[in-house]
Amino acid sequence: MTGTRRRVLLGALGLAGLGGVAAFRAVAASRGLAIRTRAGLAFGTTVALTGAGPDPTAIEAALTDGFAAMRSVETAASLFRADSALARLNRDGGLTAPDPHLVALLRFALTLAAETGGAFDPTVQPLWPLWSGAAARGERPDAERLRTTLTRIGWRRVRLESDRILLEPGTALTLNALIQGYAADHVMAALRAHGIADAFVDTGEFGALGAHPDGTPWRLGLADPRDPATLADVIAPFTGFAATSGDYNMRFSDDRADHHIFDPATGHSPGGLSSVTVTAPTGLLADGLSTACMVLGRERGARLVAAHPGCAVRFTDKA
């Protein structure tokens, strides 16, 4: 989804307290480290990768491979690309010899759907054009059209086989609730393969490895969902991966009652929470759990996260 950034990074990109970029690099150099940051566009948003180490050439090669990893994930499963494997699956209703990234994402999505009793469901895609079209007219969807659309939703309408994926007629998938966290995993793996020990990955969700080049732990600032320019919390130290789902990044109503996260059972947005941030050992898990928690609510969401070792959750209520 496009929109304002949901979190504020305090670390590789937070240079003001160090006197600017030149002073920041000087601090790194005093520790025998070079630092490189590369930014671009992916998944419909801005992304940035930062690495530090003794060899600038190795860092540049790692960042190149990190961006290549993101592009391969986009090719498989981005709905921002009309030629992606997922876009073709949605158009044709089936796909043979599917991209391994698409298979991995969909297998995780269906597993999480089963675990959450369908609170997480990759087949909610038909709700997106329904709600966005109504919002463009200053309306909410007609109740009958909403009921009809709901008949096309349900994770059991997807068949994932060894060499093909099949969708029941009218079904369409979105993996937007997983793809950025999954990409963070693969980017971090690419950096590690080049021997990068200190890195910060922003694919729309976040990952951190090692420490900040000035020797301090990485920190991740979390935006206030009602004032995204203000920090509501800081995760410090931050290592591993984090993902945030919220009602403020893409919304269909000014009061944020209607937004891009849907309850598959009702076709409406869940009403209890404003945002959820999950930290986890993988970006894929953090991303999926944060969306599931938005639908499940605070109590059931907390139980879901507690069932996954190494995970933690922060909730912000609507109030």
pLDDT (tens digit per residue) in 23-35: 556 777 777 889 9
pLDDT for 24:
58
SS3 22: helix
SS3 21: helix
Structure tokens at 305: 């996260």
Query: Is 177 known to sit in a ligand binding site?
Result: yes
pLDDT for 21:
52
**The dihedral sign for the CA sequence 72, 76, 77, 83:** positive
DSSP state of 16: G
pLDDT for 152:
97
Ordered DSSP codes for 258-274: SBS---TTTSSPP-SEE
Q: Calculate what percentage of the chain has a pLDDT beyond 90.
A: 77
Ramachandran assignment for 32, one of left (phi > 0), alpha (psi -120 to 50 degrees), beta (any other): left
Structure tokens at 181: 């966290």
Q: What is the pLDDT of residues 114-155, one digit of tens each?
A: 999 999 999 999 999 999 999 899 999 999 999 999 999 999
Query: Is 184 known to sit in a ligand binding site?
Result: no
Domain coordinates in residue numbering, the chain? 1-319
Q: Calculate what percentage of the chain has a pLDDT beyond 70.
A: 92
Q: What is the pLDDT of residues 189-226, one digit of tens each?
A: 999 999 999 999 999 999 999 998 888 999 999 988 88
CATH of 1-319, one of 3.10.520.10, 3.40.50.300, 1.10.10.10, 3.40.1390.30: 3.10.520.10
State how far the alpha carbon of 55 is from the alpha carbons of 68, 166, 187, 197, in Å. 20, 47, 19, 11
Sole residue written with tokens 């419909």: 44
State how far the alpha carbon of 268 is from the alpha carbons of 4, 9, 117, 233, 298, in Å. 23, 31, 17, 28, 18
Ordered DSSP codes for 144-213: HHHHHHHTT--GGGEEE-SSEEEE-TT-----TTTHHHHHHHHHHHHHHHTT--EEEEESSSEEEES--T
Q: Crossing angle, helix 283-296 and helix 179-193, to 10 degrees? A: 160
Statement: the pTM of the whole predicted model exceeds 0.95: no
Structure tokens at 46: 């801005």
The C-alpha atoms of residue 6 and residue 10 are separated, in whole angstroms, by 13
Query: Is 306 known to sit in a ligand binding site?
Result: no
Average pLDDT of adjacent 10-residue blocks, the chain of 319 residues: 42 41 66 90 95 96 98 97 97 98 98 98 97 92 96 98 96 98 98 97 96 90 84 93 88 80 95 94 98 97 98 93
pLDDT for 73:
98
Rounded (to 5) percent helix, strand, coil in the chain: 35, 25, 40
